Structure formats: structure tokens, C-alpha cells
Chains A and B, each alone.
Chain A
Amino acid sequence: MAQDGHRVTGWSRWQAAGWVARRELLEFVRDRRTLVITLLLPMISYPILALSTTLGLRTGVMEAEARLAPTKVTVAVSGPDAQGFIARMRGMIDATEPADRKEWPAEAVFEEINAAVAQEVIDSGAADLWLHAERGMLAGLDSDRTVSVTVQSSTMRPPTNAVRGQFLALMESFIEDARRRRIENAGLPGTVLDPLALRLTGDQPRGELPVGEIMNTVAGGVLVLLAVLTMTGAFYPAIDAIAGEKERGTIETLLIAPCSAHEIVLGKFLAVFVITLATLAANVTSITATTAVSLRLLAGNAPQSLALTTASGIAITLIVFIGLAAVGAALCLAVTTAAKSGKEAQNTLTPVILLVSALAGAALLPGMQANRLLPAAPFVGHVLVSHAAFTAAESEEATSIAWPLFLSLGSSVAITWLLLRVTAVMLTDEDILFRGQDSAGPALARPSRRALPTLMQGAIPPIMGLAALWYAQAFMPKDLLVAIPAQQAATVLLPLVVLLWWQRVDLRQTFSLRWPGCGDGLSAGMGLAGGALLGAGVFVIGAAALLALRGDGLSPEAKGLSERLVGLILSQPWWLSWLLIAVLPAVCEELLFRGWTLAAFAGRQRTAGRVALAVLAQAFLFAVAHVLPERMPQTFALGAVLGWVTITTGSLLPAIVGHLVHNSMPLVVLFASDCPPDMVLDGGGGGLPGIDAAGIPTGAVLAAAASVIAGAVLIQAAARLR
């Protein structure tokens, strides 16, 4: 049948995506309640935050000023040595140059009184403090003993902080004077107490409140909040875009339009991205206006030192956060694509937002800097680069921000592209698209037996493990002999056993419990040898990469762990260390990540795209489960490689062997080399005990690369024999 004379226009990917985006935006702007929440939230969040911060800062500034402002201090002195003490104090005051009277009172009055009326005097306010000079006090000052003096104040009229602080500063000078007299009386030169005269130029004068530093810290907090609120801009549109369409039954109408899943996803992304950008704009506008108001509230309290309002800082933040908005929009879309209803999407997306908050907040941890490749990390990098932009603007080093900015934007584009590809694969996945409704039942009723765990069940044990890791810290013993088995039991085995009890599955399929290849000796040997070569190679290459990327040093946590592991290896029999460091984690973690989680993510209908996504997703969880940021790149790489090995060979055994060899490498290095314990204790490679922080020889890296290639070839060969 003819097309009824209708002309078909030039068909392009962007046109289709544009119409999908237009349709999405039309729908979203008509959802007024969500729109108001998305755009109004920032308008009230920042003023509330700023009000509390500014008022706190203002109070702090005023208190500091009051404390530091020179005031008159009156001290009533009683006792047999009162006269002598007053004379000596006045002599000291007269002999001190004005420049050396740091934090002294403007005027110090010492008056002799009778001890019987002293309390009355300070209670009446005639004196701020009462000092009783016992007999022999002056003689004691010039001897080599310590003289005890009690200075009392009135409980009815307590002295101000300024009086207390300035009196103490004066007494510090008095004590210093007495100290010098003792030195002179002993016939020693006065310089005996001054082995080094240190002057640090440009130092913050003592007593001045570091408003700039405080505001930079506040800026960090605001940037984290900005990251989270920008993500919330993507929250509802993303839920509505795919999960909402599934719930309304409109997704099929889009999928049968003559365009690809990629074009549909691109269109939906553009719509969510626009809303996220609008949220970002509302946030930045609110921040800028709120900052202006805050500065006015702070009045003249060092607003010049604040770098917050610099145009370049705000401009760079805007650019960086456009990247964050893109990653956030794509991440929200990807996460909600697996959901079949808005409610399910909310349940899935909420923990992701919390994870993003944690990642953004990690940028404020001590030692985190926008150097090396860290700006490429999503959310952490975005906040780091933006924060650095303010610092750089302040110190006129704006050019230093160019590379981190480029890296952040480049990685945002790459991550967004990857997430959109993943979303397109998931959008047309038949398992996900036509997944039936979850059967309702009693809360504690166990679901019916399945061949493999569901997608959600795959993610639950690692998340439970992370939570257990946090709570177990309070009870975890310091001794690694107990801590390692306890940690594996609490964070890996217990969640796995609970889920296995809850959801009965085919154990052989879920945990790939079979020999690699066709099961004969040759293919099994090739599979296991391949796993071992990959494990060894990934360890060395990962350690070398970590050394190149880790920047200025290890976090105290990573260094502490490294030291404790080396301590364990050196103090215990080798087989016990090997059991704890290599065997136990290899078996437990492989059962969880490459067994349960990978099987759940890969599902029953294994398309290439879904399998790749499953391998990357379980590797991500594996990396996160290792907590320390320095370890994450290496553990992600190991998780991805072992995931590929398991999928390719159809067996978990090569992955267990690979993990075992990987974790055995520190022992091998320690026992095979002459590496002295104190050297490895001084911060191993990226927190990996046994690796010299000075670097890994190029030959070793090349050998490791050859090991990885050989391992991959053996794995492929074993797989062909299946």
C-alpha cells in the first residue's frame, strides 16, 4: 500500500532523538509538582545552609575579636610575697618591648590586698582575678623547683574569655622571664634555651581567625551538596523516562517507532540532561545569591580573603558540573532501565544517589587532590576539580587547573557514552523489558526455586557485606589472625549464605561449579594455568599503575593496612599467612562476586552486551567492597579479568586460582627478595605489601604483560575445548 503521498523527510539519528527528547520534556514540564520540587529545592537548601554557616562564622569571628581585643585586667594579689611579686611583675612589664607583648592586656593592674577580703573584691568586680603569693614564692622562682600558684576568679562575676586569655599570655611572659633568670643564675648564656631561631614568613598571625580556610572548607561542603542536588535533578525525570513509561505501557509504542534503541536512549538522555542542567543552573544561581547575602551578613569580617565569589571559580565549577550533570543523567537512566515501575526505580535509584553522595563527599577527605588521574573519577573528580578551581583562583594559579578540567570533562563524556550504550542494551533486553510482575506473598515467605538469582538478588550480598563491614568495625579485633577470617565471614560468607537460604538456586549453574573446558585434564590444566598467569600479571601491572597514579602518597588507612599485613607475614608461619591473605579471600570472594553476583547479572539470556555489563558491574562492586580508594582501580581490573575468565571458561575454578595467585604475590615478593621489612613497612606500592614504593622494574612489568597475554590465550584455548 502506498504511503498516502506523505513525504518522508531526511532521517537522521539526531532528528529522532530530538523528537523523543521533545516529547519527554513536554511530559516533564507538565508534571508541576515534581518540577517545583526539583527546581525549588535548591532555592531553599542553600539559604538554610548559608544561614547556619554564616551565623556560626559570624559568632566565631565576633568571639575571636572580643577575645583578642586588648582590655584592662585587674589582679588582686594577697599573701606575704604579694609586694615582691607585684614589683617583679611591674619590672617585667616595663622591660618588655611593645612588639613582644603579644596578646597581652591593654593595661595590667596588680593591687595588693588582704586575703580576708579578696573574695569580696573579686565578687564585687573591683578585680578580675585573685592571686595568692605564698611565703617563699619569689625565692622559689629563682630556685630550681616548681612553684604552685592558684589564681581564683569569682563564680558570681566570672571573668570574660578576653580577660582570662590575656592574663594567661601575660603570665606566660612572666614565666619565661623567670626561666631566663634561672639560666643566668646558673651561669649559662641566655641563648642556651634558644637552639634555633625560626621565622616562618607569610605565616598566619596567631590569633587571627582563618576565615579564608573556613570558607574554603564550606565551599567544599557546598560543592558536595551541589553534586547531590544536581543528581536529584535527574532523579525524577530518569524514573519517568523509562520505568514510568513501562508502568504506563507507553514504552512499547516508542520501541516500535522506526528508530534504534540508541536513538531513543539518546533522546531520553537529552531530556533528562536538560532538566538536570536546569537544576544545576537553579543551584548555582542560589549559591551565588546566597554567597552574596552571606558576605553582607559577615560585614567587614575579612570578605576580601574569600575566593568563593571569583568569577573563574564559578565558571569552572559550572563547566565541570555540566559534565557531572551528564554523568548523573546517564547513570540515573541506566539504573532505572532495569526497573519495571516507578516505585521499583525509586527503590533502585535511592541507594545510587547515596553512593554518589559518598563519592562526592570523598573529595573532602584529607590528602585528596585534583592531581594525576583522580579528576577522571566520577563525582569525586568533579568536586575535586571544582574545589581546586577556587583555590587556584585565590593563589593565581588558574592555569594549573587546565589539565584536571580537561581530564574531568573527557572522562565525563566517556562515562556518559558508556552508560548510554549500556542503557540501550538493557532497554531492548527481552528479559528486562517483558519481566513479569513480582509475585506478592507473605513478607517472610521464601521465593520459589530458580536456576539463577535475580538481578536484584545479585547486588544484595555485596551491599549487605559493605554494611556489615561498616558495623563490624566496632567489634573487629586488631589482630589480623582473627580479623581476616572474621571479616570474610561477616562481609562475604554471611550475606551469601543468607541469600542462598532465602533464594534456592541451582548451585552448579550459579557458581559455575565445573571444570574449565571440556573437563579433561588438558583443558582443565589450561584453564587453571591461564587463571594463575592472569592473576600474577594483573598484580604486577596493577601495582605498577598504582605507583604511577597514586600521587603524593598513601592514605594513613592504606599505609596502616599495608604495615599490618607485612607484620602478619613476617611474624607468622608462611602457610598461615598464605591461608589468611590468599586462600580464604580467593575462595570466599570468588564464590560471591564471580559466582553469585556475576551469574545474577548475566542472567539466563546471555547477550554479549549484557554479559559485558555484568562483568563490569560485579567488578565495580568488588572494587567498592575493598573500600580503600587506592585499591579500587586494581581490584576493579582484577574483578573484570576474573569475571571474563569465569564467563569464558564457564567455570569458577580458574578465577579462584587467579585470585589465589594474585593475593599470593606479596608473600612471594617478600620471601623471594631481599626486601627488608622496614622498607616495605614504609608504604608498599599502593598499599600492597611487598611492593617497593620506589617502583617496579620495567622488565617485571613487561614479564607481567606477557603473563597476562599468555593467560588470556590459555583461557581462550580452554574455552574452545568446551
Chain B
Amino acid sequence: MIEVVDLVKDYRAGDGSVVHAVDHISFTVAAGETVGLLGANGAGKTTTLRVLATLLKPTSGTARVAGYDVVADPVGVRRHLGYVSATTGVADRLTPREIFTSFGRLHGLDREATATRVERLLAGLDLTSCADRPAGRLSSGQRQRVSLGRALVHNPPALVLDEPTNALDVLGARDLLSMLGQLRGEGHAILISTHRLHEIEHRCDRFVIVHMGRIVATGTRDELVADGAGLEDAFFVAVSRRVF
């Protein structure tokens, strides 16, 4: 469902030098699978996800979502992708219902389908009680659920989340991750990036560990973690080995 092949993304820094934010990385996420993209700050996780969300153009390589290429058919990608990040805000003066409705219509759903979908999302995300309250008055957890609902309003087959639990407390993070588990069960392909490894250690089918723009380890938890150790230990080992 999500396919990244030999992806490269370079930036020019202020002093004119070239920075390799993403350096020839490749991975896939199948339908009904959750993959954790792990890495320290500046490892290239957000850049990779922004390329998948068509917000950035790759320097070279390819990235596809549901078969649509991010460069050749960005609109096709957007129709099949939901994108959430910790920095993705919600419009403070709009209510969750209005936010879902406007994005449903933007995604081409008709009035009836949008209304049905919005009610289902409000109920599924436990937002019914605050559906008509301006988002600015919601808690951080509620706002993040609104953000997730906005990404799901068109029922995309692929979901990309960039550090979605950063602004949440323990309970909020657990609720959100539980919802992601449900979505995986419904057949969504989920790519989740985070550096809070303990939260997703037992919730992902596979992990891709990136460091300085390059993949340094990939595999299931069992493949990465040595006996008696945790994912965090595996991460340190992979990063210290530097390049895979």
C-alpha cells in the first residue's frame, strides 16, 4: 500500500551546503500492517513522511501510495492517504463536526455520505459530546482525535502519522494507539513515526530505524530485539552501528 524505493531528499542549508535529509531509503507498508518509523530528532522521519504526503518533492527515488506516485499523481496520493502529525493543528474557531464536514466535501464526498461518515467518526473517536464545540476549547487529547478524524474522513486505505502522541498524556496516547489498532484491523496500512519507542513497541508489526537519513535497521520486534532486551536497546545498537 505504501512503497518507498531508494528515496533521496536533499536540502540546501543557509550557508549553501547540501544536506542529505533522506539518503536512499526503501521500505513498504502492506494493507492491514502497522510499521513504526523510528529515529532520533533530525533522522529524516518527518521528511520521509512529508514526501509521502506530497508536501515535499523527492530529489530522487520513488514513493507510492495505493499505487499512485507522489510526483506523477499527487492528487491520487492525497485521495488515498490520511496524514496526521503532532504539529498538525486544528482550526480553533471551527467545531469537530465542521472540520470533518469541510474536509469530507473537499475530498469529494457528497452531502449524504459526508454526514454519515462524520457521525460515524464522531462516535468512533468519542467526540460526540463535543462535536459542536469550537476546537479551541477542546483538550489536547480531543484535539488530536479531531486531527485523526480529519485524516480519516475520506476513509483512506493508508494512514501516515508523524509523532502523533507527542502532545498527549499517557491516557491520551494509549487511547490514540488503541484506535490505530482498530484501524489496522479494518485493513488500513499505517506508518507511524515516533521516538517514544515504549509506546509502540508492542503495537507495530515491523520497524524501520533511520539515522542521519539512512536506514540502519529493519525487521519485526523479534528480529531486532535480543533476548531479554527491549526495543530501546535494539534502537541504540542499530544507531551505534551507524549505517546498515
Interface residues of A (CB under 8 A from B): 1, 3-9, 11, 15-16, 19-20, 22-23, 26-27, 30-31, 248-250, 252-253, 255-260, 430, 433-434, 448-452, 506, 509, 604-605
Contact = CB atoms under 8 A, between A and B. Distances in A.
A511 to B, nearest CB: 14
Given A16-B106, A26-B94, A448-B14, A260 B117 contact: no
A27 B94 contact: yes
24 contacts: A1-B31, A6-B113, A6-B155, A7-B110, A7-B113, A8-B109, A27-B91, A250-B88, A250-B89, A252-B85, A252-B88, A253-B88, A256-B54, A258-B78, A260-B75, A430-B56, A433-B55, A434-B50, A434-B56, A450-B15, A451-B15, A451-B16, A452-B16, A506-B16
Contacts of B88: 249-250, 252-253
> For B53, B85, B89, which residue has the most chain A Cβ atoms within 10 angstroms?
B89
B12 interface: yes
A1 B16 contact: no
A433 B55 CA distance: 9
Contacts of B117: 4, 6
Majority secondary structure, B binding face: loop
A15 B102 CA distance: 11
B151 to A, nearest CB: 8
Interface string B29-72: 00100000000000000000010011111000000000000000
Given A248-B89, A250-B89, A256-B81, 15 more contacts: A4-B117, A6-B109, A6-B110, A16-B106, A20-B106, A26-B94, A30-B93, A250-B90, A252-B87, A259-B75, A434-B55, A434-B56, A448-B15, A604-B12, A605-B12
B26 to A, nearest CB: 22
Nearest to B113: A6
A258 B107 contact: yes
A1 B187 contact: yes
B206 interface: no
A5 B117 CA distance: 11
Nearest to B102: A23
Contacts of B81: 256
Contacts of B98: 23, 26
B158 to A, nearest CB: 8
Nearest to A29: B93
B12 A249 contact: no
B135 to A, nearest CB: 10
B211 interface: no
B53 A256 contact: yes
A452 B155 CA distance: 44
A590 B81 CA distance: 48
B83 interface: yes
Given A6-B155, A7-B113, A252-B88, A19 B75 contact: no
Nearest to A436: B14
Given A252-B55, A433-B55, A258 B106 contact: yes
Interface in B98-125: 98, 102-103, 105-110, 113, 117
A248 B92 contact: yes
Contacts of B89: 248-250, 253
B93 A430 contact: no
A704 to B, nearest CB: 39
B91 A9 contact: no
Contacts of B147: 253
Contacts of A450: 14-16
A43 B107 CA distance: 41
- List of 10 A-B pairs having minimum Cβ-Cβ separation, nearest first: A451-B16, A249-B89, A1-B157, A30-B93, A604-B12, A6-B113, A248-B89, A258-B78, A8-B108, A4-B155
B16 A509 contact: yes
B203 interface: no
> For B54, B76, B113, which residue has the most chain A Cβ atoms within 10 angstroms?
B113
Given A9-B108, A450-B15, A451-B14, A256 B83 contact: yes
Contacts of A27: 91, 93-94
A604 B157 contact: no
B221 interface: no
Nearest to B188: A1
A14 to B, nearest CB: 13
A249 B75 contact: no
Contacts of A19: 102, 105-106
Contacts of B93: 26-27, 30-31
Contacts of B76: 258
B79 interface: yes
B109 A30 contact: no
Contacts of A252: 53, 55, 83, 85, 87-88
A252 to B, nearest CB: 6
Nearest to B9: A430
Contacts of B106: 16, 19-20, 257-259
Contacts of B154: 3, 6
Contacts of B91: 23, 27, 248, 250
A647 to B, nearest CB: 17
Contacts of A23: 91, 94, 98, 102
Contacts of B56: 430, 434
Interface in B128-153: 134, 147, 150
A256 B91 CA distance: 15
A604 B54 CA distance: 21
Contacts of B75: 258-260
A30 B134 contact: yes
Nearest to A433: B55
Contact of A7 (B79, B109, B134): B109
A24 to B, nearest CB: 9
A433 B47 CA distance: 13
A9 B110 contact: yes
A258 B108 contact: yes
B24 to A, nearest CB: 20
A35 to B, nearest CB: 11
A249 B167 CA distance: 13
Contact of A256 (B78, B92, B94, B134): B78
Interface string B182-197: 0000011000000000
A360 to B, nearest CB: 32
A255 B55 contact: yes
B59 to A, nearest CB: 11
Contacts of B1: 1
A249 B87 contact: yes
A15 B16 CA distance: 42
A9 B83 CA distance: 22
Contacts of A249: 87-89
Nearest to A240: B93
A30 B90 CA distance: 15
Nearest to A449: B15
Contacts of A4: 117, 155
